[in-house]
């Protein structure tokens, strides 16, 4: 069905956390095969401890797998050294976390500029791109505000703008609505849906909330480190 090559894929992906002894060893992700196309909105669900965050961290190059591969835009992340991996993380992946992680000393505009500024982009270009990203999430009117002057929902929309500012291949969001009330949660989800539809943005979102998962085009359910169900009908590339 998929005509273009997947933007993000895994092959037999595994992560084991070594403990002090064999009993303390945790197989957090156990052989995940996933293939995600451009413009897909995928919800990753499953009980607490089923390996969702560990999977997301490997997809985003935060954690290196114990075995198997992550392919992002045709590149096997395992072939990259730490510097090259950090560059991919900065440029091609947008992260959104439950706790918005905006820096309190900086204005929203400065927060959103940060991924570009850290990458050596000139201040003028940073500002142009950050304003455009804030525009895209409906937060341009709050550009000069500090995070503590914003509601949780507004902060999360700002964090999404920060994730988008580099025009990433994929946005990875780990329970982005977990700290929001239902009205703000709906706004964030509608925003992500719109980004997927209008920009062909690829989004993978971890959630416990069935209402949030229902908004995605595809649901992948994890259980004990494995894909238990994939509404795309197959978990293989």
Ligand X SMILES: Nc1ncnc2c1ncn2[C@@H]1O[C@H](COP(=O)(O)OP(=O)(O)O)[C@@H](O)[C@H]1O
Is 53 or 202 the residue whose CB approaches Mg ion more closely? 53
Range 71-76 contact pairs with CB under 8 angstroms and sequence separation of 24 or more? 71/6, 71/8, 71/9, 71/10, 71/11, 72/7, 72/8, 72/169, 72/170, 73/7, 73/8, 73/169, 74/5
Is 22 or 124 the residue whose CB approaches ligand X more closely? 22
Q: Which residues bind ligand X (CB under 6 A)?
A: 17, 26, 28, 46, 48-54
Q: Work out how close the CB of 125 gets to ligand X at its nearest, in angstroms, rounded to a whole number.
A: 36
The closest of 31, 4, 1 to 16, measured between CA atoms, is 31
Neighbours of 232 (CB within 10 A): 17
Residue 53 touching Mg ion (CB under 5 A)? yes
Q: Work out how close the CB of 3 gets to Mg ion at its nearest, in angstroms, rounded to a whole number.
A: 33
Is 97 or 138 the residue whose CB approaches ligand X more closely? 97
Residue 185 touching Mg ion (CB under 5 A)? no
Q: Work out how close the CB of 24 gets to Mg ion at its nearest, in angstroms, rounded to a whole number.
A: 19
Neighbours of 122 (CB within 10 A): 10
Is 66 or 186 the residue whose CB approaches ligand X more closely? 66
Q: Binding residues for Mg ion, per CB under 5 A? A: 53
């Amino acid at each position: 069905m998929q005509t273009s090559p997947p933007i993000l894929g895994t092959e037999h992906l595994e992560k084991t956390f070594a403990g002090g002894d064999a009993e303390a060893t945790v197989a957090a992700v156990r052989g995940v095969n996933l293939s995600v196309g451009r413009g897909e909105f995928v919800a990753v669900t499953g009980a607490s401890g089923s390996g969702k965050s560990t999977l997301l961290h490997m997809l985003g190059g935060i954690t290196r797998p114990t075995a198997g591969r992550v392919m992002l835009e045709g590149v096997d992340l395992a072939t990259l050294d730490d510097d090259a991996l950090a560059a991919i993380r900065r440029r091609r992946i947008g992260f959104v976390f439950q706790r918005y992680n905006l820096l309190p000393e900086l204005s929203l505009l400065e927060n959103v500029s940060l991924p570009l500024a850290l990458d050596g982009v000139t201040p003028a270009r940073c500002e142009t791109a950050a304003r455009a990203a804030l525009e895209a999430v409906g937060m341009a009117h709050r550009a000069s505000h500090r995070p503590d002057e914003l509601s949780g929902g507004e902060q999360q929309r700002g964090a999404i703008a920060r994730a988008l500012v580099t025009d990433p291949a994929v946005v990875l969001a780990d329970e982005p609505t977990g700290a929001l009330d239902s009205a703000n949660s709906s706004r964030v989800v509608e925003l992500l849906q719109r980004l997927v539809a209008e920009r062909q943005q690829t989004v993978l979102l971890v959630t416990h909330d069935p209402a949030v998962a229902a908004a995605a085009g595809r649901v992948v359910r994890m259980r004990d480190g494995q894909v238990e169900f994939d509404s795309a009908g197959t978990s293989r590339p």
